[in-house]
């Protein structure tokens, strides 16, 4: 028969054992050095990933034990490319994205980074997102002219491609509040018979034709026509080939475009589809 002191000791031992198990469970669940639980959607980060990714976006590199658990996707959109190299602190390439865009060009950079770098895509596919970015930024910075059509036109898309990727082409004039374009010079001949040299999109058409990303072969440009997914992917593919100096006869499968602040990794997955990642 157990004495009262022995019963108390046994109960105390059981409690201590239970407390040890609870403490171990709590410690395991909140460990900052634990690998994050995988999530099927690559655009959704776990709380662990979000917390540890924040300093990475500011240009810091994790070291020590935590570095073992940094997943590859956590590097998407960071100022450095992968976890194979260690770098010291430096101003983040993405720091300019903290500010509100003040120009059409900045708008394109911000939106593409948010969509393809941070995974905040609003449309169903990457090519639909790219077309939406072209429309949104044109409306935001060039005014009511771009409200006339609910869809993205071929001119809007071409202007976006040229500007987003750093081509030195700009509007030769400005849009008024009532949606008219006022040219500031003699304009640029586009090569299309029905396009005036002073049209806002004429310089963009001329350059696009020069670098051979227009495949229509038309003498007249079908103004304000909606750009299809097929046309959008084809133009992006031809432009990527141009930037990379690719002259092969086979369709381009993958490409990379480097701008002053961002790097676009592009995979062409079909005639109407593409995957874009931004770092």
Per residue in 68-97, pLDDT (tens digit) is 677 766 777 776 544 433 333 333 444 555
Range in 64-73, 110-119, 130-139 the model is least confident about: 64-73
Q: Which pLDDT score, from 0 to 100, does residue 54 have?
A: 78
Residue 185, judged by CB atoms within 10 A of its CB (0-12, 13-18, 19+), counts as: exposed
Range in 31-35, 168-172, 210-214, 259-263 the model is least confident about: 31-35
Residue 1 has pLDDT above 60, yes or no: no
Q: Which pLDDT score, from 0 to 100, does residue 22 have?
A: 47
One-character DSSP codes across 147-213? GS-SSPBHHHHHHHHHHHTT-S---SEEE-TTS-EEESSS----S-TTS-TTSTTHHHHHHHHHTT-
pTM of the model as a whole: 0.67
Residue 7 has pLDDT above 50, yes or no: no
- Higher-confidence residue of 257 and 44: namely 257
Of the candidates 180, 250, 253, 246, the one whose C-alpha atom is nearest the C-alpha of residue 211 is 246
Q: Which pLDDT score, from 0 to 100, does residue 249 have?
A: 86
Cα 42 to its chain centre, rounded Å, is 14
- Higher-confidence residue of 100 and 117: namely 117
Q: Which pLDDT score, from 0 to 100, does residue 97 have?
A: 55
């Amino acid at each position: 028969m157990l004495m009262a002191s022995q019963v108390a000791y046994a109960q105390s031992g059981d409690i201590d054992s239970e407390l040890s198990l609870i403490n171990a469970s709590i410690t395991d669940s909140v460990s900052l050095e634990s690998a994050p639980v995988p999530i099927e959607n690559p655009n959704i980060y776990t709380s662990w990933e979000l917390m540890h990714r924040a300093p990475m976006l500011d240009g810091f590199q994790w070291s020590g034990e935590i570095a073992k658990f940094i997943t590859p996707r956590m590097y998407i959109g960071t100022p450095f490319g992968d976890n194979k190299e260690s770098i010291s602190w430096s101003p983040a390439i993405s720091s300019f994205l903290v500010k509100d865009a003040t120009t059409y060009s900045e708008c394109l950079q911000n939106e593409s980074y948010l969509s393809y770098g941070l995974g905040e895509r609003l449309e169903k596919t990457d090519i639909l997102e790219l077309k939406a970015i072209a429309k949104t930024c044109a409306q935001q910075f060039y005014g009511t002219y771009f409200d006339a059509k609910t869809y993205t036109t071929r001119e809007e898309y071409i202007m976006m491609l040229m500007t987003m990727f750093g081509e030195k082409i700009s509007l030769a004039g400005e849009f008024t509040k009532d949606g008219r374009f006022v040219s500031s010079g003699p304009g640029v001949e586009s090569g299309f018979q029905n396009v005036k040299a002073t049209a806002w999109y004429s310089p963009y058409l001329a350059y696009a034709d020069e670098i051979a990303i227009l495949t229509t072969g038309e003498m007249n440009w079908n103004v304000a026509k909606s750009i299809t997914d097929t046309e959008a992917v084809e133009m992006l593919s031809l432009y990527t080939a141009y930037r990379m100096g690719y002259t092969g006869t086979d369709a381009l499968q993958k490409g990379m475009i480097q701008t002053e602040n961002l790097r676009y990794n592009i995979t062409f997955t079909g005639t109407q589809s593409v995957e874009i990642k931004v770092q």
